[in-house]
C-alpha cells in the first residue's frame, strides 16, 4: 500500500526545479506523445483512401465521380473549411513559400485584401501545410491543431496540480472536443491556443509565488499565436475566459505578489500583441473602410440558438441525425441549430463537471461554473444571462452562440478533470457530488420529456428514427455508467476516465463517416479556363464556388469574404445584383433575386455591361444551363405553364416531329431543345434533336439525366419571325420505355407527328431555348459544367485612345504602347496601399468608375507595375520581428541563467517551465 501511494504521489508532482529541462520533459513525454498521436491516428482512414477529407470534393462544386460516405450529411457544419481555410489558406501558403507576403488576393471579386482579412490565418505557421494540394494539407493542419490543443490542456491541468491520469483524460477530451468534431475552419485553429494562454497565466502566477522575475515569454508566444490564428470572435471570448481565469488565480496569491503577477501578464500580452502586429496591424488599419455585415452593429446581442436545441447542443448531439443529414424533412429549429451552433458537449461531461464543482468547491471552480452558465445562457437566449453578458463591451458584435463554445467547453473540461482527480484522491463531498450529478441527470431526463412531442416526431420519421432512438438509449446508458462509476469509486477513476474518453471518441468519429469515399476535381474545366482566360475574369453561377478561384489561381468575380472593402460591396450591389439576398459578404451566382423564374437570364441581361466592365469574359454554369437564353415551352399552355402529367410513351427508335409556326421575338437565336420525362430509376438512353429555322438547321445529342433530355446546340441557330421552326427528335437508344410529360390545354396550330401518326399538341411539351441577342458563345462543356464566352468584355488592363495597345504579363503588370499621352485602367479594387510605377518613376493612382484604378501614362512603349502593401506594413513587420526576437532571446537568456544557478536553488517546483 505504501509503495502504491508513493507511486501515485510521484504522478501528481512536477519534477524539481533543480533538474534539467530535458529531465522535466522526460517525466511527461510519454503522455504528451500519446495525446499528440491521437488526431493523427484518426487520419488513418483518409491516408488509406478509405474516405477523402478533401473539402474541395464537397465544397468546390467542381467534383465528379463522387461516392458518398457511409453516413448521410456532411462532415463539417461550416463550409468555410473550403471557402476560407483551404482556398485562401492555400494562396497564403504558396505566396509565403515563394517569398511573397500574402497581402492581396487578385483572384476573388475585383481583387481583395488577403492577410488583412485575418480569418484565413495568413501568418500562422500551421497554414504553411495548406501548400499541399488535395486534402492532405488541411488534414495535417487540423490534426496538428488538435494535438497542440490537447497537449496544452494536459500541461495546464498538470500545472494546476492534478494527477497525471486525470490530466491525461482532460487532454484527450479537449483534443476531441465538439468544436474540433464539427468544425475544420479557422475557429478550430483559434481554439488550439486557448489552453496555452491559460497555461501561460498559470506559469506567470506560480513563478511570481516563487519570486522568479521573468515568466512572461510563454504568454507572449501564446498570445501571438492565438491572434495569428485569425478568428476575432473566438479570440474575444477566449480572452474573456483568460481574464476570468486570471482574476480567479490572482486571488490565491498574497496581496504583495498580485501586482508583480499582473505586470508579468500585462508584459506577456503586450509582447504577444506586438509579435502579431504583422497580421493585426493591417486588419485594424483596413477595418474603417470595410463592410462588416452583422458584426457592424449590436444586432448579435439578441441573437441566440433555439431553446429546443439544448438537447442537441448539451446532451446528445445526434438526436436529430448527422450534420445536415436530413435537411429537407427536419423541423426548423434543428436546421437553425446545424446552421449556427458552434460545437457540442455531452451529458457525460456535464455530469462529471458538476461532480467536480461540488468536490472541488473553491473560487476557481465557482468562477468557471458561473462563466459557463453565462455563456451557455447567452447561447440559448436565457434572459438573465443574455442581459449580463451584454454588459461586456463589444459583445454585441460577437456571435457568442457560435464562437463561445470552445471557451466554455474548456472550462467544463477543467471542472470535470478536477472532479476526476478528486475521485482518485478521495476528496471530501463525494456523496454530495454524486447527489448533484444524479439530480442533473433527472433534470436532463425531464428536459427530454418536455420535448416529447418533438422527439416523437423524429421517432416517427423513418430517416431519423434510428438516430433519435439510439441517441436517447446512448445518453441513458452513458448517464447510468457515469453515476455508477462515481458510486463504485474503484481503480482510482480509471473506469470514469475510460467512459469519458470512449464517449468523446465515439461522438467525434460519427461525422467522419459522412466524408465521401472518393471523388475527383474536374481538372478538364480548370485546364480550359487556365488556357483561354488570359487577362480577364470568370463569373461562376453556382458551379465554381467562391474563393476556390484563389486555390486554382483563376481570377473570378465570385467571393465569400468578411470583412470586405465597402467600395467593393457597394459597387457589386449597385451594378451587378441589386438587393441580392445573402448580404454583401457573399457573391457566388447562387444568391440571385427570386422574382423571376429564370433569374440568371434577367440578371445578366440587365447588368451585362457591368459584368463586362469588371473584366468578365467567361461565364461558368451547370452543364445543360444557358444563362443567356429564355426557355420557352411549346405549345404554350393556356392555363398551367409547366408539364403536369405523363402522356406519350416513347420507345427506342421512336421519332417525334413538331412544327412551331412563329415566335414572339422578331430576332432570336435558337440554342437548345428540352424534353421532360417521368423519371425512371433504371432508364438510360440518348436523344438526337434536329431543329430548323427555314432551311437552316442544327443538331445536338443529349443523354437522359434526372428524367430530362437537354440537347444544347454547339452554336446558336439564327431565327427570324417569318420562318417556321421545325423540330425532329429521335431516340436511337433507350434501355426502357419512357413517358413524356404533357402540359395543360393549349390552342390549336402546333402539329406534332409521332412515328407518322398525328398526336394532340397537348400530349407533349417541348422546351426550346431562345436567346434574343448574340451575347455569348458556348466554348466548353462537359458532364459538370459549361462555359459561355462574352464578346465585349474589357480586359483587366486597358489603355484609352485609338491606336493604343496593351499586353498583360500576369495580374499586376502590363506593357503598353501608345503614340500619345493616355490613361491606363487597371480593373482591380482601389484600396489604400496600392502603388504604381513606370520603370522607377511612381505614378499617381486615381479611382475610376467608383472601384477600379487608373493612372495617366506618357506616350511611347513602357511597362507599368502595380503593387499592393498595406500603408504601414513595413512598420508592422518591424514591430513583429523585434518583439519575436525579444521574446526568444529573453526566454533563452532566462533558461541559461537558471541552468547556471540550478545547483544553488533547492526546493520543489509546481510547474514545468
CB 79 within 8 A of CB 56: no
How many Å separate Cα 885 from the centre of its chain?
A: 34
Please count the CA atoms within 13 angstroms of the CA of 125 that sit on its side-chain side: 9
How many Å separate Cα 673 from the centre of its chain?
A: 39
Whether the pLDDT of residue 407 is over 80: the answer is: yes
Dump pLDDT digits (tens) for 102-143.
999 999 999 999 999 888 999 999 999 999 988 899 999 999
Cell of 462: 423513418
Q: Rounded to whole angstroms, how far apart are CA atoms 99 and 865?
A: 18
Dump pLDDT digits (tens) for 858-899.
999 999 999 999 999 999 999 999 999 999 888 876 655 555
Cell of 178: 465538439
Please count the CA atoms within 13 angstroms of the CA of 419 that sit on its side-chain side: 33
Instruction: Quickly list DSSP for 347-409.
Output: HHHHHHHHHHHHHT-SHHHHHHHHHHHHHHHHHTT-HHHHHHHTTSTTGGGS-HHHHSHHHHH
Whether the pLDDT of residue 7 is over 60: the answer is: no
pLDDT value of residue 877: 97
User: 788 — alpha (psi -120 to 50), left (phi > 0) or beta?
Assistant: beta
Whether the pLDDT of residue 23 is over 60: the answer is: no
Looking at per-residue pLDDT, the higher value among 216 and 769 belongs to 216
CB 11 within 8 A of CB 163: yes
Query: Collapsing DSSP states into helix, strand and coil, what is residue 724?
Result: coil
Dump pLDDT digits (tens) for 410-441.
999 999 999 999 988 876 788 899 999 999 99
State yes or no: cis peptide before 563, omega within 30 of 0. Answer: yes
The residue whose grid cell reads 470512449 is 502
Most confident of 274-283, 609-618, 669-678: 274-283
pLDDT value of residue 774: 60
Q: What angle do CA 182, 147, 190 make, to 5 degrees?
A: 55
pLDDT confidence band for 765 (50 / 70 / 90): low
pLDDT value of residue 628: 74
Q: Rounded to whole angstroms, how far apart are CA atoms 236 and 493?
A: 35
Query: What average pLDDT does the segment 627-633 reach?
Result: 64
pLDDT value of residue 549: 93
How many Å separate Cα 245 from the centre of its chain?
A: 30
Per residue in 723-742, is it b (16+ CB within 10 Å) or e — as a string? Answer: bebebbbbbeebeeebbbbb
Q: Rounded to whole angstroms, how far apart are CA atoms 848 and 851?
A: 6
CB 368 within 8 A of CB 353: no
Query: Collapsing DSSP states into helix, strand and coil, what is residue 559?
Result: strand
- Residue 220: which of 874, 872, 894 has the closest Cα? 894
Q: Can you point out the beta strands (E) in 145-299? A: 290-291
Strand partners, 622: 785
- Residue 345: which of 418, 416, 422 has the closest Cα? 416
- The model's pTM is 0.85
Q: Rounded to whole angstroms, how far apart are CA atoms 668 and 771?
A: 6
> pLDDT over 90 for what percent of the chain?
55
Strand partners, 727: 658, 691
Looking at per-residue pLDDT, the higher value among 593 and 540 belongs to 540
Query: What average pLDDT does the segment 685-693 reach?
Result: 89
Query: Collapsing DSSP states into helix, strand and coil, what is residue 540?
Result: strand
Pairing of strands 841-843, 813-818: unpaired
Dump pLDDT digits (tens) for 697-712.
989 998 888 778 888 8
Q: Rounded to whole angstroms, how far apart are CA atoms 368 and 411?
A: 6
Whether the pLDDT of residue 345 is over 60: the answer is: yes
Query: What average pLDDT does the segment 209-220 reach?
Result: 81
CB 471 within 8 A of CB 311: no
CB 150 within 8 A of CB 35: yes
Dump pLDDT digits (tens) for 643-661.
444 456 788 888 888 777 6
Among 21-30, 78-87, 160-169, 518-527, where is mean pLDDT lowest? 21-30
Cell of 685: 438512353
Q: Rounded to whole angstroms, how far apart are CA atoms 446 and 448?
A: 5
Q: What is the CA radius of gyration of the chain?
A: 32
pLDDT confidence band for 640 (50 / 70 / 90): very low
Dump pLDDT digits (tens) for 476-530.
999 999 999 988 865 558 899 999 999 999 999 999 999 999 998 888 899 999 9
Q: How far apart are the first and last CA of the chain?
A: 32
Q: Rounded to whole angstroms, how far apart are CA atoms 214 and 364?
A: 25
Residues 6+ apart with CB under 8 A from 483: 351, 434, 437, 438, 441
3-state class percentages of the chain: helix first, strand second, coil last, to nearest 5: 50, 20, 30
Whether the pLDDT of residue 825 is over 50: the answer is: yes
pLDDT value of residue 299: 80
Looking at per-residue pLDDT, the higher value among 344 and 1 belongs to 344
The residue whose grid cell reads 402529367 is 645
**Average pLDDT score over the chain:** 85
Amino acid at each position: 500500500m505504501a509503495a502504491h501511494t508513493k507511486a501515485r504521489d510521484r504522478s501528481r508532482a512536477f519534477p524539481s526545479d533543480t533538474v534539467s529541462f530535458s529531465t522535466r520533459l522526460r517525466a511527461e513525454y510519454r503522455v504528451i506523445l500519446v495525446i499528440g498521436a491521437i488526431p493523427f491516428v484518426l487520419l488513418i482512414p483518409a491516408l488509406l483512401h478509405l474516405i477523402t477529407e478533401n473539402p474541395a470534393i464537397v465544397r468546390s462544386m467542381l467534383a465528379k465521380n463522387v461516392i458518398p460516405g457511409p453516413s448521410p450529411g456532411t462532415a463539417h457544419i461550416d463550409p468555410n473549411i473550403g471557402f476560407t481555410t483551404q482556398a485562401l489558406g492555400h494562396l497564403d501558403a504558396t505566396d509565403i513559400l515563394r517569398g511573397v507576403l500574402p497581402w492581396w488576393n487578385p483572384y476573388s471579386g475585383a481583387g481583395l485584401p488577403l492577410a488583412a482579412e485575418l480569418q484565413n490565418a495568413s501568418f500562422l505557421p500551421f497554414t504553411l501545410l495548406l501548400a499541399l494540394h488535395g486534402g492532405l494539407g488541411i488534414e495535417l493542419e487540423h490534426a496538428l491543431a488538435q494535438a497542440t490543443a490537447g497537449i496544452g490542456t494536459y500541461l495546464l491541468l498538470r500545472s494546476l496540480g492534478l494527477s497525471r491520469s486525470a490530466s491525461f483524460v482532460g487532454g484527450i477530451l479537449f483534443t476531441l472536443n465538439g468544436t474540433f468534431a464539427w468544425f475544420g475552419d479557422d475557429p478550430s485553429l483559434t481554439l488550439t491556443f486557448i489552453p496555452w494562454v491559460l497555461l501561460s497565466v498559470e506559469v506567470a502566477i506560480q513563478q511570481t509565488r516563487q519570486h522568479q522575475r521573468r515568466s512572461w515569454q510563454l504568454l507572449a508566444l501564446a498570445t501571438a499565436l492565438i491572434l495569428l490564428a485569425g478568428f476575432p470572435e473566438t479570440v474575444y471570448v477566449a480572452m474573456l475566459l483568460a481574464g476570468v481565469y486570471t482574476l480567479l488565480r490572482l486571488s490565491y496569491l498574497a496581496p504583495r505578489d498580485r501586482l508583480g503577477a499582473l505586470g508579468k501578464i500585462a508584459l506577456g500580452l503586450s509582447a504577444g500583441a506586438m509579435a502579431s502586429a504583422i497580421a493585426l496591424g493591417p486588419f485594424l488599419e483596413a477595418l474603417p473602410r470595410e463592410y462588416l455585415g452583422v458584426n457592424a452593429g449590436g444586432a448579435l446581442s439578441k441573437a441566440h440558438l433555439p431553446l429546443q436545441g439544448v438537447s442537441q447542443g448539451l446532451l446528445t448531439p445526434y438526436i436529430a441525425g448527422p450534420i445536415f443529414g436530413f435537411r429537407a424533412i427536419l423541423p426548423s429549429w434543428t436546421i437553425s441549430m446545424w446552421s449556427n451552433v458552434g460545437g457540442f458537449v455531452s451529458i457525460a461531461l456535464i455530469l462529471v463537471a458538476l461532480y467536480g464543482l461540488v468536490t472541488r468547491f473553491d473560487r476557481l471552480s465557482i468562477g468557471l461554473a458561473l462563466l459557463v452558465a453565462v455563456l451557455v445562457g447567452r447561447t440559448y437566449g436565457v434572459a438573465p444571462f443574455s442581459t449580463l453578458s451584454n454588459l461586456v463591451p463589444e459583445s454585441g458584435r460577437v456571435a457568442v452562440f457560435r464562437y463561445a463554445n470552445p471557451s466554455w467547453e474548456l472550462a467544463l473540461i477543467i471542472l470535470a478533470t478536477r472532479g476526476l482527480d478528486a475521485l482518485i484522491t478521495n476528496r471530501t463531498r463525494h456523496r454530495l457530488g454524486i447527489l448533484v450529478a444524479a439530480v442533473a441527470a433527472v433534470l436532463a431526463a425531464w428536459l427530454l420529456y418536455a420535448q416529447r412531442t418533438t422527439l416523437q416526431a423524429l421517432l416517427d420519421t423513418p430517416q431519423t428514427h434510428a438516430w433519435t432512438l439510439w441517441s436517447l438509449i446512448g445518453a441513458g446508458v452513458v448517464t447510468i455508467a457515469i453515476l455508477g462509476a462515481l458510486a463504485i469509486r474503484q481503480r482510482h477513476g480509471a473506469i470514469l476516465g475510460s467512459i469519458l474518453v470512449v464517449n468523446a471518441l465515439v461522438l467525434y468519429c460519427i461525422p467522419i463517416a459522412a466524408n465521401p469515399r472518393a471523388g475527383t476535381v474536374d481538372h478538364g474545366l480548370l485546364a480550359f479556363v487556365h488556357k483561354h482566360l488570359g487577362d480577364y475574369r470568370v463569373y461562376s453561377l453556382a458551379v465554381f464556388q467562391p474563393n476556390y478561384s484563389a486555390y486554382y489561381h483563376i481570377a473570378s468575380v465570385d467571393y465569400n469574404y468578411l470583412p470586405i472593402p465597402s467600395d467593393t460591396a457597394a459597387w457589386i450591389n449597385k451594378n451587378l445584383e441589386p438587393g441580392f439576398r445573402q448580404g454583401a459578404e457573399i457573391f457566388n451566382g447562387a444568391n440571385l433575386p427570386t422574382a423571376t423564374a429564370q433569374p440568371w437570364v434577367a440578371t445578366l441581361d440587365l447588368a451585362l455591361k457591368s459584368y463586362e466592365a469588371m473584366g468578365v469574359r467567361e461565364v461558368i454554369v451547370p452543364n445543360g444551363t444557358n444563362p443567356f437564353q429564355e426557355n420557352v415551352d411549346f405549345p404554350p399552355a393556356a392555363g398551367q405553364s409547366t408539364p403536369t402529367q405523363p402522356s406519350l410513351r416513347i420507345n427506342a427508335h421512336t421519332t417525334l416531329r413538331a412544327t412551331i409556326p412563329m415566335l414572339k421575338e422578331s430576332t432570336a437565336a435558337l440554342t437548345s431543345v428540352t424534353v421532360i420525362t417521368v423519371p425512371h430509376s433504371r432508364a438510360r438512353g440518348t436523344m438526337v434533336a434536329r431543329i430548323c429555322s427555314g432551311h437552316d438547321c442544327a443538331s445536338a445529342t443529349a443523354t437522359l439525366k434526372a428524367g430530362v433530355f437537354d440537347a444544347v446546340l454547339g452554336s446558336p441557330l439564327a431565327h427570324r419571325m417569318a420562318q417556321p421552326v421545325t423540330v425532329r427528335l429521335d431516340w436511337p437508344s433507350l434501355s426502357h420505355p419512357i413517358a413524356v410529360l404533357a402540359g395543360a390545354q393549349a390552342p390549336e396550330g402546333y402539329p406534332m407527328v409521332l412515328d407518322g401518326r398525328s398526336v394532340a399538341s397537348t400530349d407533349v411539351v417541348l422546351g426550346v431555348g431562345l436567346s434574343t441577342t448574340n451575347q455569348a458563345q458556348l466554348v466548353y462543356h462537359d458532364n459538370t459544367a459549361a462555359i459561355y464566352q462574352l464578346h465585349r468584355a474589357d480586359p483587366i488592363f486597358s489603355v484609352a485612345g485609338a491606336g493604343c495597345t496593351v499586353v498583360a504579363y500576369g495580374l499586376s503588370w502590363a506593357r503598353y504602347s501608345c503614340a500619345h499621352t493616355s490613361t491606363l485602367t487597371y480593373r482591380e479594387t482601389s484600396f489604400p496601399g496600392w502603388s504604381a510605377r513606370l520603370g522607377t518613376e511612381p505614378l499617381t493612382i486615381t479611382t475610376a468608375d467608383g472601384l477600379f484604378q487608373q493612372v495617366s501614362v506618357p506616350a511611347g512603349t513602357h511597362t507599368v507595375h502595380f503593387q499592393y502593401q498595406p500603408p504601414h506594413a513595413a512598420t508592422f513587420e518591424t514591430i513583429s520581428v523585434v518583439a519575436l526576437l525579444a521574446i526568444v532571446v529573453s526566454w533563452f537568456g532566462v533558461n541559461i541563467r537558471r541552468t547556471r544557478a540550478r545547483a544553488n536553488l533547492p526546493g520543489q517546483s509546481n510547474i514545468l517551465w
